[in-house]
Amino acid sequence: MNNSNQKNFEYLPSVQQVLETLVDDTASIKQAYLTVLVREELETLRRRIRSARFAPKSRQQVLAIIKDNVQAQIRELVATPIKRVINATGVVLHTGLGRAPLGERSLQYLMNIASGYLNLEFDLESGKRGERLDLTNSYLRLLTGAESSAIVNNNAAAVMISLNSLANRKEVIVSRGELIEIGGSFRLPDVMKKSGAKMVEVGTTNRTHLGDYENAISPKTGAILIAHTSNYRVEGFTAKPPESDIIDLAHKNNIPVIMDLGSGALIPTGDMGLPEEPPVSAAVNTDFDVITFSGDKLLGGPQAGLIVGKSPYIKKNPQKLADAGNALR
């Protein structure tokens, strides 16, 4: 470091000197946090001087630069980061714009109930600790026809927990044409790997036959996964077996079938003039063992992943499900 560059460091003020120029800003931010911002700005200038990218002319110049930068950061910190916007994208359920807006009745109920204490995990009749999933089981049973349910943070978590609970260290058969990727870099192969299951791909991108599933079944098979491809279509020279045939094949071999419905509709969307999306109740009636879907898209609720299906599979390895559920909800 030459003498000229060394002299530039002498123009750097102390933290206290900078704080004295920002005394009026302590009304917006605590001094402890203000000090952190000042130290960060000083360190940035040190690096710029060290690399010969900044040559200050006076201490007053440096003080002015730091003051301006810190005040800009304060304005950004105290401003409300989330703002109302107009969705002109043409995508109604836009993941970057918060997905489905909450209804006014839901918002009012949320404001009333969440502004105080509530019986989230407390049985008011017995006075003992309760289970939060008991509050939603009856609703989801009526809405979907499923025997049992669980709710976690999002659909990716719902898929991962289901795979982990049913097929940890086992093989899971899935068609190559259903290895989906959705927004936020959610890739089904990655989720499956993190769940502890081993993915076994069958068929091709455009054609998968029942025999492909049958040939892949082995003593190591833990589950068959079917993923609803809601955000793309494979058209033309295509083939896939009816879901009921896959389920019959799996059940003959005592293998559960998981359906990842993705967005998840509770009513037939075609009745409202929208493109057809399979209702959750239809998947239940088709005899899938476990069905996962989102709570924040077609359902129009807060971000959530819902798991519904047959009680033995929803409750399989309950300690693992509880541990994973607590971590991911």
Q: Which residue has the tokens 């088709």?
A: 286
Q: Which two tokens stand for residue 264?
A: 């998840």
| CB-CB contact of 129 with 123 (8 Å) | yes
Per-domain residue ranges of the chain: 3-78, 133-328
pLDDT, mean over the chain: 88
Is this structure's pTM higher than 0.85?
Answer: no
Mean pLDDT on 126-147: 89
pLDDT of 2 > 80? The answer is: no
| CB-CB contact of 280 with 294 (8 Å) | no
The β-bridge partners of 291 are 259, 308
Mean pLDDT on 88-114: 88
Mean pLDDT on 235-256: 95
Quote the percentage of the chain above a pLDDT of 90.
56
Q: Tell me, what's the pLDDT at 297? A: 84
| CB-CB contact of 228 with 259 (8 Å) | yes
Per-residue pLDDT tens digits for 283-327: 999 999 999 999 888 888 888 999 999 999 998 744 345 544 554
- The residues, any chain, with a CB within 8 Å of residue 226's CB and separated by 6 or more, are 174, 175, 178, 243, 246, 257, 258, 259, 260, 288
Residue 200 to residues 216, 228, 238, 260: CA-CA distances in angstroms?
A: 8, 17, 20, 16
pLDDT of 134 > 90? The answer is: no
May I ask the CATH class of domain 133-328?
alpha beta
Per-residue pLDDT tens digits for 174-228: 999 999 887 666 789 999 999 999 999 999 999 999 999 999 999 999 999 999 9
